[in-house]
């Protein structure tokens, strides 16, 4: 699988699978490109998928965090720059004159909307499949469907405490397991609070019966090095973008795949936005939370490949 050179000369890994019309797949936070393979398999004969591993994950885990001030605390802006650079290189071997289909889940959808707002990305998208993400992550006077909805204040409080805890280690490209034991314990305690916001904490409580609990919890974090953990958390703390106008102005076909039970992003807010687009269809996964590919994998796969 090829690596593509980014503007800062880091080499971003991009998985390429299939044959036919190109599709760009932008993953959610913590995902690796290989995780998409079971879900896109039915379309591999007719579609060629380009799936980048975002910096810090998968085979791009060794890419350095950009040092430019505008990207050093803004992972979304950095991801958009990488995606835009990737599109320029894909266009050298694919005919993108009529645009490219884009599948974007969670953080990948935020990156897409950032490109729509600041980079004319909408003009390059032939068909857009948007998966369980809010067009505005921060709640506002006229918008209460941001990240964690009515519990956003609690989320931000946990986030602030976690960042304060990690600040002394923020520039260390070292495994999280190298943290002092008391810091690891506090980090896991805060992680438990995150989990409790989303759903039952039963699994964490079950793990607490075993001595390997801390190891499993550390490994379950989506980031495995301290600098990347801090970078992503800081980016979400400072993310105040409102993409509602950029997204609702999209004029080509758009599909919204939504987890009805999503605790991170209210389905009501997502539906309200989807209904404002000129050519949009809404696809509800009735028993799914935010983790669409895990909660209802068969319905998710069927829906996705019908759209492709």
The per-residue pLDDT for range 23-56, each reduced to its tens digit, is 999 999 989 999 999 999 999 999 999 999 999 9
Task: Judge whether residue 192 has pLDDT over 50.
Answer: yes
Please tell me whether residues 91 and 12 are part of one structural domain: yes
Please tell me whether residues 23 and 102 are part of one structural domain: yes
pLDDT digits 0-9 by tens, 222-247: 677 999 999 999 999 999 999 999 99
Please tell me whether residues 207 and 226 are part of one structural domain: yes
Would you say residue 144 lies in a domain?
A: no
Task: Judge whether residue 216 has pLDDT over 70.
Answer: no
Domain boundary among 238, 262, 284: 238
Task: Judge whether residue 202 has pLDDT over 70.
Answer: no
Please tell me whether residues 191 and 257 are part of one structural domain: no
Please tell me whether residues 21 and 80 are part of one structural domain: yes
Would you say residue 198 lies in a domain?
A: yes
pLDDT digits 0-9 by tens, 157-181: 999 999 999 999 999 999 988 999 9
Would you say residue 193 lies in a domain?
A: yes
CATH code where residue 295 lies: 3.40.50.1820
Would you say residue 143 lies in a domain?
A: no
Domain boundary among 185, 217, 238: 238
Helix axes 226-238, 152-166, angle to 10 degrees: 140
Long-range contacts of the stretch 117-121 (C-beta < 8 A, 24+): 117/241, 117/243, 117/245, 117/246, 118/80, 119/80, 119/84, 121/80, 121/84
Please tell me whether residues 234 and 260 are part of one structural domain: no
Q: 13: pLDDT confidence band, cut at 50, 70 and 90? A: very high
Asked if 279 contacts 143 with a C-beta cutoff of 8 angstroms, the reply is: no
Would you say residue 142 lies in a domain?
A: no
Please tell me whether residues 114 and 8 are part of one structural domain: yes
Please tell me whether residues 233 and 128 are part of one structural domain: no
Greater confidence (9 vs 1) lies with 9
- Provide the residue range defining the domain that includes 221: 149-238
Task: Judge whether residue 141 has pLDDT over 70.
Answer: yes
Domain boundary among 181, 208, 238: 238
The reported pLDDT for the residue numbered 266 is 94
Task: Judge whether residue 81 has pLDDT over 70.
Answer: yes
Buried b (16+ CB within 10 A) or exposed e, 99-115: ebbbbbbbbbbbbbbbb
Asked if 96 contacts 90 with a C-beta cutoff of 8 angstroms, the reply is: yes
Q: What is the mean pLDDT of residues 119-131?
A: 97
Would you say residue 27 lies in a domain?
A: yes
pTM exceeds cut of 0.75: yes
Please tell me whether residues 53 and 125 are part of one structural domain: yes
Rounded percentage of the chain residues whose pLDDT exceeds 70: 91
Q: If you average pLDDT over every residue of the chain, what do you get? A: 91
Task: Judge whether residue 183 has pLDDT over 60.
Answer: yes
Q: How many residues does the chain have?
A: 308
Give how many domains the chain has, as a whole number: 2
């Amino acid at each position: 699988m090829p690596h593509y050179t980014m503007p800062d000369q880091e080499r971003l890994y991009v998985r390429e699978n299939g044959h036919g019309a190109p599709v760009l797949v932008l993953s959610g936070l913590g995902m690796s490109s290989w995780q998409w393979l079971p879900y896109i398999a039915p379309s591999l004969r007719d579609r060629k998928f380009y799936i980048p591993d975002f910096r810090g994950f998968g085979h791009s885990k060794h890419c350095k965090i950009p040092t430019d001030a505008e990207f050093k605390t803004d992972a979304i802006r950095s991801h958009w720059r990488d995606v835009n650079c990737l599109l320029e290189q894909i266009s050298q071997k694919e005919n993108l004159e009529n645009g490219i289909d884009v599948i974007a889940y969670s953080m990948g959808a935020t990156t897409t909307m950032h490109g729509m707002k600041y980079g004319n990305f909408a003009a390059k998208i032939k068909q857009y499949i948007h998966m369980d993400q809010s067009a505005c992550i921060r709640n506002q006077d006229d918008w209460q469907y941001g990240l964690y909805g009515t519990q956003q204040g609690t989320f931000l409080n946990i986030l602030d405490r976690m960042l304060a805890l990690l600040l002394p280690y923020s520039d260390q490209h070292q495994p999280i397991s190298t943290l002092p034991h008391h810091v690891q314990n506090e980090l896991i305690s805060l992680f438990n609070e995150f989990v409790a916001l989303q759903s039952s904490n039963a699994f964490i409580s079950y793990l607490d019966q075993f001595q390997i609990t801390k190891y499993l919890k550390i490994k379950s974090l989506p980031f495995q090095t301290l600098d990347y953990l801090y970078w992503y958390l800081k980016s979400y703390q400072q993310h105040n973008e409102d993409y509602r106008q950029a997204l609702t102005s999209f004029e080509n076909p758009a599909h919204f795949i939504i987890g009805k039970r999503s605790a991170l992003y209210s389905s009501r807010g997502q539906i309200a936005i989807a209904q404002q687009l000129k050519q949009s269809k809404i696809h509800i996964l009735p028993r799914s939370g935010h983790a669409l590919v895990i909660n209802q994998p068969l319905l998710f796969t069927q829906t996705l490949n019908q759209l492709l």
